Amino acid sequence: MANPLLEVRHISKGFDGTGVLEDVSLTVHEGEVLVVVGPSGCGKSTLLRCINGLERIDSGEILLRGKPITGEKRDLVAVRQKVGMVFQSYDLFPHMDVMGNLLLGPTKALRRPKAEVEAEAMAMLKRVGLEEKAHALPRTLSGGQKQRVALVRAMLMKPEMLLLDEITAALDPEMVREVLNVVLDLAKEGMTMAIVTHEMRFAEAVADRVIFLEGGVIVEEGAPAQFFHHPKTERARQFLNTFVYEAAKKQSENSADA
């Protein structure tokens, strides 16, 4: 087995006294794609935010390559340079064009030469089919285009790991695929990722391992084929059933349209 890249050990986190995460432990190995699923409000975003230091954990610890990244002496800036994150809301900087958005992190946080990063940025934009948008302002892009730019922006930091929090949840259905394809590509190239998603088909396709979170605790963990087709727990079964129902509903709507 490859080395553990990220280890989350017995973390708990609450807001104003109400527990959100309780004694959560997980490991992500190098090159692995971990998918986290669970009902709304179960703490998925909070989990990712704790890993990236956007929320402070109450107890437990998180290690990146064996080194603690929580606790008093943590260096959040250094951690965030190694762990990239993309959010659900389109969060490009509206006052800069696409290239400006892409250059900011590498040139300011990593202090790399602009020309070099620019060439890399252009190549990455080309890969996601957006090279002609390099100098467009974010507000002129579609949601799907914005999220692809956000992915490129995170990747240009050459992170050791990416955290993706429902990056297609705010998109129109026809744009979901173009974004997920980029993520699938990254997975193929061996990018280590922790992904929160409500797209179950995508989850199954991209995951090496799945975690089912409910009420702030890990209820089930397993390989995607096993989790999605033969869940061990009743609660996971019920959760997955809601998606079967939705898929069936969509299908009948589609056939009604036809």
Ligand X SMILES: Nc1ncnc2c1ncn2[C@@H]1O[C@H](COP(=O)(O)OP(=O)(O)OP(=O)(O)O)[C@@H](O)[C@H]1O
Q: Which residues bind other proteins (CB under 8 A)?
A: 52-54, 76-78, 80-82, 84-87, 89, 91-95, 104-105, 108-110, 150, 153-154, 157
Residues between 16 and 55 with contacts to Mg ion, criterion CB under 5 A: 45
Stated as kind and residue range, the H or E segment containing 202 is helix 200-206
Please name the amino acid found at residue 62: I
- Tell me the closest approach of the beta carbon of residue 166 to Mg ion, in angstroms: 6
What type of residue is 128? V
Kindly identify the residues of this chain, within the stretch 157-196, that bind ligand X according to CB under 6 A: 166
Q: Using CB under 6 A as the criterion, what x/- string covers residues 62-81 for binding ligand X? A: --------------------
Partner interacting with residue 245 (select from Mg ion, other proteins, ligand X, none; CB below 5-8 Å by kind)? none
Q: Quick one: which of 208, 243, 152, 217 has its CA closest to 35?
A: 208
Locate 61 and state its tokens. Answer: 């610890």
Is residue 255 a contact residue for ligand X (CB under 6 A)? no
- In the shown chain, the binding pattern of residues 10 to 29 toward ligand X, with x for contact by CB under 6 A and - for none, equals -----x----x---------
Facing residues of 164 across strands? Answer: 86, 195
Position 224: which residue type? P
Does residue 52 bind ligand X (CB under 6 A)?
no
Order of all β-strands in the sheet with 67-68 = 18-29, 4-15, 59-64, 67-68
Instruction: Tell me which H or E stretch contains 236.
Output: helix 234-257
Residues that bind ligand X (CB under 6 A): 15, 20, 38, 40-46, 166
